[in-house]
Amino acid sequence: QVQLVESGGGSVQAGGSLRLSCAASGRIFSWYRMGWFRRAPGEEREFVAAIFWSGANTNYADSVKGRFTISRDNAKNMVFLQLNSLKPEDTAVYYCAMRSNSGTDTPEFYNYWGQGTQVTVSS
């Protein structure tokens, strides 16, 4: 049983930055996978970035590679997503998620989800 709560969303002009936070609580094991997903208006949920709870291996969607950075603070049970060089097409609800099972970085393999935080990027 894991609970996830996102924060840090807001409105920003193109080229700006935001830092999203995810507070995790419950029973978390080292092999768990933490991910960020987003759902843009009129679009399906898509993968953004992921990191293991233990280890430095990361994975990013091509659309955000070089602009977004995922990180964690295990002592505080926190996961972060730094969003730089934001574009209007980054506008979406961003979700923190966790998977306890093996799989891939697709929504169907993640079994815990936060409520989402809105990111709006204007031209």
- At 1, the pLDDT band (50, 70, 90 cuts) reads confident
Run of H or E residues at 94: strand 92-99
Other CB atoms within 10 Å distance of the CB of residue 11: 12
Q: What is the mean pLDDT of residues 49-70?
A: 95
What whole-number distance in Å separates Cα of residue 110 and Cα of residue 96?
A: 10
Burial string for 63-85 (b: 16+ CB within 10 Å, else e) reads ebeeebbbebeeeebebbbebee
Residue 22: per-residue pLDDT: 98
Over the chain, what is the mean pLDDT? 96
